[in-house]
Amino acid sequence: MPENGASEERDIIYIPDEDGNEEAFEVLFTFELDENDQKYILVTPEEDSGDGEETEVFAFRYEEDGDDMTLYLIEDDKEWDMVEETFNALLDEFESDGEEV
């Protein structure tokens, strides 16, 4: 999985919904925040990518154990603000480089 940016190839992860059905999500960014030593992943539903409309983005805190990844909801407002600020900075960086996210 790419650190601090997007990869050339699309990384896809599968996240179970409330009914236990796995849904495919494209990984947009992964990053680590120094403020709290946590790792974060930003994903978008695979079916939404590339259709020209506004894309829904989901953010999770995650932990890795070998090949296993555990996702956690971000429920703290302060933590959410840090993630949103980092996402916006990454997005601005890629847009200024002329890349499409």
Residue 26's nearest CA partner among 39, 38, 40, 14 is 14
pLDDT band, very low/low/confident/very high, at 52 (cuts 50, 70, 90):
low
How many percent of the chain have pLDDT more than 90?
A: 50
The residue ranges of every structural domain in the chain are 12-96
CA-CA distance, 88 to 3, in Å (whole number)? Answer: 16
pLDDT of residue 98: 65
Helices (H), 1-101: 77-96
Report, as an integer, the average pLDDT of 24-51.
Answer: 86
pLDDT of residue 54: 76
pLDDT of residue 1: 43
Q: Residues of 77-86 as b/e, b for ≥16 C-beta within 10 angstroms?
A: eebeebbeeb
| 75 vs 35, higher pLDDT | 75
Q: What is the pTM of this model?
A: 0.75
